């Protein structure tokens, strides 16, 4: 019975990709995955806490797609048009005044910082309560795993 069967020539075999096309597809898929941010430097969180009348700042990774949550005296407040796409070597300043947090300025950082590839977020708290700004990014797998080839 087995002998009478014609040799199997599966259709999948005829769909075999050449190495060139396979490399092109794999390469483009990697570019797409990295491009949409699915592979990146990992989920990031940066928190700025400033007591009433104080100022503070923090360096964060320069990248797009940051999300901002804010509280004044423990109460959640919404910030209109926050800075979410942060560029390297740029200072983003927020101000809290009269119970409202507003994005104030976006300017190039002329001071020499340890890592100018990052962005700097600054907060001036002129309110009468503690203000907390939390910057977060998500849905990113840590890449490269050990941060190598980047130094």
Task: Rule CB under 8 A: choose which of 40, 60, 94, 121 binds other proteins.
Answer: 40
SS3 67: strand
Stretch that binds other proteins, among 39-47, 91-99, 107-115, 126-134 (CB under 8 A): 39-47
Query: Which parts of 2-148 are beta strand (E)?
Result: 39-40, 44-50, 55-61, 67-72, 75-77, 90-97, 100-108, 118-125, 131-137, 141-142
Q: Which is nearer to other proteins, 37 or 129 (CB)?
A: 37
Task: Rule CB under 8 A: choose which of 9, 12, 18, 112 binds other proteins.
Answer: 18
Q: Cβ 85 to other proteins, closest distance in Å? A: 7
Does residue 45 belong to the site contacting other proteins (CB under 8 A)? no
Q: Which is nearer to other proteins, 96 or 118 (CB)?
A: 118
CB 123 within 8 A of CB 94: yes
Task: Rule CB under 8 A: choose which of 9, 64, 83, 136 binds other proteins.
Answer: 64
| Residue carrying structure tokens 């040799």 | 7
CB neighbourhood size of 129 (10 A) = 14
Task: Rule CB under 8 A: choose which of 48, 60, 62, 68 binds other proteins.
Answer: 62
Q: Cβ 53 to other proteins, closest distance in Å? A: 34
CB 47 within 8 A of CB 69: no
Alpha helices in 7-69 (DSSP H): 11-14, 19-35
CA 12 to centroid of chain Cα atoms: 40
Task: Rule CB under 8 A: choose which of 46, 48, 50, 63 binds other proteins.
Answer: 63
CB 60 within 8 A of CB 119: yes
Binding residues (CB under 8 A) for other proteins: these are 2-3, 18-28, 30-31, 34-35, 37, 39-41, 61-64, 85, 87-88, 143-146, 148-151
């Amino acid at each position: 019975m087995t002998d009478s069967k014609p040799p199997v020539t599966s259709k999948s075999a005829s769909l075999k990709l050449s190495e060139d096309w396979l490399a092109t597809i794999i390469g483009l898929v990697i570019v797409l995955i990295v491009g949409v941010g699915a592979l990146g430097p990992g989920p990031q969180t940066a928190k700025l806490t400033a007591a009433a009348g104080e100022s503070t700042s923090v360096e964060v990774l320069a990248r797009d797609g940051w999300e901002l949550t804010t509280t004044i005296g423990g109460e959640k407040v919404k910030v209109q048009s926050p800075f979410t796409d942060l560029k390297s070597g740029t200072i983003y300043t927020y101000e809290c005044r009269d119970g409202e947090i507003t994005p104030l300025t976006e300017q190039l950082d002329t001071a020499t910082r340890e890592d100018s590839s990052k962005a700097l977020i600054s907060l001036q708290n002129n309110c009468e309560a503690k203000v907390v700004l939390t910057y977060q990014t998500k849905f990113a797998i840590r890449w490269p795993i050990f941060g190598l080839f980047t130094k």
